[in-house]
Amino acid sequence: MIKGIVKGAFGIAAFGAGALASAVVLGNRRVDAWETLSPDDAGAGDFVTLSDGARMHYVVRRPSTPRRSAQDAQDVILIHGLMDSALNWSKNIDALAQEHRVWAIDLIGFGFSSRVTAPTYSLKYFARSVREWMDAQEIARASVVGHSLGGAVALELAHDFPARVDKLILIAPGTYRVNVPPAVNLAARVPYVPRALVGWATTSRRARR
């Protein structure tokens, strides 16, 4: 009887390990596909090449009412949150564009912008890339709307380049450090597992919900 229980336990463990391995493999395949999106996949929008060679994707909408000319309209920049993209603003951008010139950007590493594999990602890197993008668009000063991670980037932009930010609109901004449990920090160092989790999160609508 004991042998049967042991065999059953090993069988369950083997099944669980196999399922986990399959999930990791599939998750990595998903993120591989996500990392190799080409500019042609974007459809709408355009790109700016930054000083480090990364390409930032953006979408722009201009005022649609005669009360505001394209020259007089205020620039509003929309910055998405973690695991999101400019598409996050699809239900807001046209309404805002009735009065403003509205730009929805994909931060580097997200949406249709370049995937940088070197460990360069930081709030300062994101803020600097947004400032470079503003330079390319000849936007001297803008109101910046940020959601979640985008809120933290907007705050960093205002801190590092205050002359470039007119107003800040922050939606559930990422403003505090999170005390990550030790087990999560350990899991983040396991080969292939973090990429698999990112793969599922970025490509599975059910997982994102």
pLDDT tens across 48-65, in order? 999 999 999 999 999 866
The whole-number pLDDT of residue 196 equals: 74
The whole-number pLDDT of residue 60 equals: 96
Q: Which of 70-74, 87-91, 102-106 has the highest mean pLDDT?
A: 102-106
Is the pLDDT at 16 greater than 60? The verdict is: no
In the chain, residues under CATH classification 3.40.50.1820 are 40-176
Least confident of 5-19, 22-36, 108-122: 5-19
What six digits make up the tokens of 6?
């042991």
Decide: 129 and 50 in contact? Cβ < 8 Å. Answer: yes
For the domain made up of 40-176, give the CATH fold. Rossmann fold (3.40.50)
Is the pLDDT at 47 greater than 90? The verdict is: yes
- Residue 145's SS3 state is strand
Is the pLDDT at 145 greater than 60? The verdict is: yes
- Distance from C-alpha of 29 to C-alpha of 160, rounded to nearest angstrom: 37
Percent of residues in the chain assigned helix, strand, coil, to nearest 5: 45, 15, 35
The whole-number pLDDT of residue 117 equals: 74
